[in-house]
Amino acid sequence: MVSARRSDQVGGDGLRERHRLRTEAALEHAALRLFAERGFDVVTVDDIAARADVSRRTFFRYFASKEDVLLADHPRRLADLRRALAGRPEDEPALTALRHAILSMAGGYEEERQRLLDRATIMARTPSLHARSLAHQRLWEEAVADMVAERMRVDPTVDLRPGVVAASTLASLRVAVAAWLARDGRPHLPTLVAEALDLLDGGLEQGLTRLSALRGRRRQSPAARSTPEEENP
């Protein structure tokens, strides 16, 4: 067997395993420092390896790519979300369960505020990193869509709703987190996320025309809810 073991083993049993974890942490730390200091694409893998005092080759034994150093925690986060969602009562409506799971996850973000801020700073200067990060989020979408479909007892390949729910919900989460990071992580994240989800769940239409739930100065006339249809280009 090829050993499907990376961070999923807990115990620090054995000198070897402990050394492995130390090396991984050293590489990650070195990479973050260097990226922050000089910028992602100026830093080479050799630089990182040298700083962590291992060989270039070893770096690629720990991380699949240079980008991966920054995104290695995605699988763990997704697992958290899965667990949170699976932990909700079986008969709870899909949307309620999803909201709770996401809010609980958002709560966890606050504990990693600084780390996330550092990463956001690096990413803001490096488009290709955003690309990878978004690719990971697509995996989240699939996972969430499947779980939502299961709760709704529908087939996600036939019914659009689970997909739309997953995609729009995670998109809103992303916007809220981005806003949080842009404000230096000062606002209460779960509150921001809850506001975004409220807007979504209650209907964008309502959210925009009514007196806003969100902190915007409303400037919009309460337009009719008639949504002109047809249109066949």
Partner DNA sequence: GTGCCTACTTGCACTGAGTGCCACGAACGC
Partner DNA sequence: GCGTTCGTGGCACTCAGTGCAAGTAGGCAC
Name which of residues 113 to 152 contact its own copies (CB under 8 A): 127-128, 130-132, 134-135, 137-138, 152
Q: Which does 186 bind (CB under 5 to 8 A by kind): its own copies, DNA, none?
A: none
Measured distance CA(49)–CA(91) in Å, rounded: 50
Measured distance CA(96)–CA(115) in Å, rounded: 29
CB of 200 to its own copies, least distance (A): 6
**The token pair that represents 140 in the structure block:** 């989240």
**The token pair that represents 142 in the structure block:** 């699939």
Which CB sits closer to DNA, 88 or 119?
A: 119
Query: Going by C-beta distance under 8 Å and a sequence separation of 6 or more, which residues neighbour residue 214?
Result: 195, 199, 207
Which CB sits closer to its own copies, 52 or 148?
A: 148
**The token pair that represents 94 in the structure block:** 């899909």
The total of other beta-carbon atoms located within 10 Å of residue 98's CB is 25
Query: Going by C-beta distance under 8 Å and a sequence separation of 6 or more, which residues neighbour residue 92?
Result: 100, 151
* Stretch touching DNA by CB under 7 A, among 40-48, 116-124, 171-179, 198-206: 40-48
* Stretch touching DNA by CB under 7 A, among 58-66, 138-146, 202-210, 215-223: 58-66
Among 25, 38, 55, 125, binds DNA (CB under 7 A): 55
Name which of residues 155 to 194 contact its own copies (CB under 8 A): 155, 157-161, 163-165, 167-172, 174-176, 178-179, 182, 190, 192, 194
Among 7, 38, 61, 210, binds DNA (CB under 7 A): 61
Position of tokens 């034994």? 61
Cβ 157 vs Cβ 96: under 8 Å: no
Measured distance CA(167)–CA(109) in Å, rounded: 20
Q: How many whole angstroms from its chain centre is CA 224?
A: 36
222 scored as a contact of DNA (CB under 7 A): no
Q: Which does 189 bind (CB under 5 to 8 A by kind): DNA, its own copies, none?
A: none
Q: Which does 104 bind (CB under 5 to 8 A by kind): DNA, its own copies, none?
A: its own copies
Footprint of DNA (CB under 7 A) = 3, 14-17, 19-20, 23, 43-46, 53-58, 60-62, 64-67
